[in-house]
Amino acid sequence: MHDETKVGVFVLVGMALFGTAIFLLGDYSFQTYYPVSVEFQDVAGLPDKSVVKLSGVVVGKIKKIYLKRDKVRVQLAVQDGVKIYRNSRFLIGSTSLIGSKFLQIDQGDASSGVIEPGDVMSGSDVLPIDRAMAKAVEEIQGLVKDLRGDGSMTKNLGEILANLREVTAGINEIVSTSQPHAEKAMERLDGITAKLDSILAKTDSLLTKISNGDGVAGALVSDKQMKENVTSTLNNLKDASASVKDIVGRVGGFRTYWNLQTKYEPLARNSKSDLGVKIYPRPGRYYYLGGSNIINTKDQVRGVDYDTRNTIDAQLGWEIKGFDLYAGALGGAGGFGVKYRPFHYDPKWDMFRFMVEASDFSRRRTIKGRFFDKPRYDAGMEFIFNRYVSAGVRVNDLEEVKRVNYTARVMFEDKDISYLLGLATLGGTKK
């Protein structure tokens, strides 16, 4: 091969390699594309020339990213034949927490129509993962700082828990003292009920024999008048026994619970208590009567407290599945409330209770130098540790001052009072 031929072959190979490099580096392709533009508030570091994925499949690439007025416009090149529906979501995706970013398209519905070449769509401004984590860390640090404060909140929560332990110890002593008496009373009621059942069974048997004229009883009442008299007497005895059984059932049907709740308000820097009794005359129906915001009126409040002290709670309530509906006097003012247990159907997870209350609808007065003219709305939640103890947080007066309260509640059953209330119903019956 001549030298000239070698040089010619070398030049041709070099030109082919150079053309291939220009083709690759210049982002040329034999695939045809159509343009679509997407506008974002922030592209969160989306690089130029990155890929476009539709439902996880690469369908194009980013041609250009630039500012247009107060928006960031991303110009896409989408492969011909790929249909993107108009209600699709455009957002910034990432292969991992620190991986490369790409433009992600969540396909919409065909009924919304197809995006045409040159259309400008709006992107979804989703907070990037790195910024979301930074924001979460910042909020956690702020929460820790608020909890630390000057140490007064931790100290007050410690005092509340110490008082709660003392109250629990007193409750245990009361329950252990009253339990034997209540158990004996219930045993006597069970014995009376069993005897009444026996009397009713024997009465039915005797009436059957008398009606058929069998045995000595049939002979004694062979006379028609005597038979009618004896039958009437036994019927009266049967009715009386049934009435006594009903009354005894009512005596043992009451359920009574004491309710003690302590509330700590950081802005007012003081604690208040609610104490009352909850009476169930029958399942699903109850009455509640007690005192609200109980505090010594001579105590000086360290902060501003807008709650009315030492008021009355008197409510009528119904429990329907997971709902607790009640109405009456709430903190001395007329209103109503709803409590809901979202996991009431599963005892294993039934630990949360959410509440909403509305009261004092005609309020127009000045309290501590501030004029109130809107109804009071409260909302909160409780975590139930067991059947006796729960704790939670609530926000009072959402329309006016929005005061956060931390609560601790203790409830226990008093069977002696239930027995006395049942006996008291005997005086009101005519049977």
Contacts of 84 (CB under 8 A, 6+ apart): 36, 54, 78, 105, 107, 108, 114, 115
- Is there a single domain that holds both residue 247 and residue 259? no
- Is there a single domain that holds both residue 355 and residue 341? yes
- Among left, alpha and beta (phi > 0; psi -120 to 50; other), residue 293 is left
**Of 252, 267, 290, which residue constitutes the final position of a domain?**
252
Question: Is position 20 within any domain?
Answer: no
| Three-state secondary structure call for residue 184 | helix
What is the Cα–Cα distance from 121 to 88, expressed in whole angstroms? Answer: 9
Q: Once rounded to an integer, what is the mean pLDDT over residues 327-340? A: 92
| Three-state secondary structure call for residue 93 | strand
Question: Is position 235 within any domain?
Answer: yes
Question: pLDDT-based confidence at 388, cuts 50/70/90?
Answer: confident
Q: How many domains does the chain have?
A: 3
- Helices in 213-223 by DSSP H: which ranges? 215-220
**Of 252, 271, 289, which residue constitutes the final position of a domain?**
252
- Among left, alpha and beta (phi > 0; psi -120 to 50; other), residue 370 is beta
Task: Look up residue 426 and give its DSSP letter.
Answer: G
What is the Cα–Cα distance from 186 to 418, expressed in whole angstroms? Answer: 11
Can you tell me which residue has the tokens 């959402």?
A: 398
pLDDT in tens, 147-167: 666 666 666 667 777 777 776
Of 262, 63, 94, nearest to 163 (Cα)?
A: 262
What is the Cα–Cα distance from 210 to 220, expressed in whole angstroms? Answer: 9
* Domain encompassing residue 324: 255-423
What is the Cα–Cα distance from 145 to 273, expressed in whole angstroms? Answer: 28
Q: Whole-prediction pTM value?
A: 0.46
- Is there a single domain that holds both residue 119 and residue 96? yes
426 pLDDT more than 70:
no
36 pLDDT more than 70:
yes
User: How much of the chain, in percent, has pLDDT values that exceed 90?
Assistant: 32
- Is there a single domain that holds both residue 293 and residue 222? no
The first and second tokens of residue 378, run together, are 């409260």
**Hey, how many other C-beta atoms are within 10 angstroms of the C-beta on 221?**
19
- Is there a single domain that holds both residue 386 and residue 417? yes
With vertex at residue 397, the alpha carbon angle to CA 396 and CA 400, rounded to the nearest 5 degrees, is 140
174 pLDDT more than 60:
yes
- Is there a single domain that holds both residue 274 and residue 175? no
Compare 169 and 423 and report the one with higher pLDDT.
Answer: 169
- Is there a single domain that holds both residue 213 and residue 197? yes
Q: Once rounded to an integer, what is the mean pLDDT over residues 300-308? A: 78
- Is there a single domain that holds both residue 65 and residue 186? no
Question: Is position 209 within any domain?
Answer: yes
Q: Are 37 and 90 in contact (CB under 8 A)?
A: no
- Is there a single domain that holds both residue 275 and residue 392? yes
**Of 192, 225, 252, which residue constitutes the final position of a domain?**
252
- Is there a single domain that holds both residue 47 and residue 117? yes
CATH number assigned to the domain comprising residue 319: 2.40.128
Burial class (CB in 10 A: 0-12, 13-18, 19+), 236: exposed
Can you tell me which residue has the tokens 């070449």?
A: 117
The first and second tokens of residue 27, run together, are 């982002």
Question: pLDDT-based confidence at 168, cuts 50/70/90?
Answer: confident
Question: Is position 321 within any domain?
Answer: yes
Question: Is position 142 within any domain?
Answer: no
Question: pLDDT-based confidence at 431, cuts 50/70/90?
Answer: very low
- Among left, alpha and beta (phi > 0; psi -120 to 50; other), residue 75 is beta
What is the Cα–Cα distance from 33 to 23, expressed in whole angstroms? Answer: 17
- Is there a single domain that holds both residue 361 and residue 279? yes
Q: Are 337 and 356 in contact (CB under 8 A)?
A: yes
What is the Cα–Cα distance from 151 to 37, expressed in whole angstroms? Answer: 55
Q: Once rounded to an integer, what is the mean pLDDT over residues 359-385? A: 90
What is the Cα–Cα distance from 385 to 350, expressed in whole angstroms? Answer: 10
pLDDT in tens, 236-272: 766 766 666 666 556 567 889 999 999 988 888 888 8
- Is there a single domain that holds both residue 117 and residue 217? no
pLDDT in tens, 176-234: 766 666 667 667 777 777 777 777 777 777 777 666 666 555 555 555 666 677 677 76
Mean pLDDT of the chain: 80
Question: pLDDT-based confidence at 319, cuts 50/70/90?
Answer: very high
Q: Radius of gyration over alpha carbons of the chain, in Å?
A: 40
106 pLDDT more than 80:
yes
Question: Is position 411 within any domain?
Answer: yes
Question: Is position 16 within any domain?
Answer: no
Question: Is position 24 within any domain?
Answer: no
CATH number assigned to the domain comprising residue 48: 2.40.30
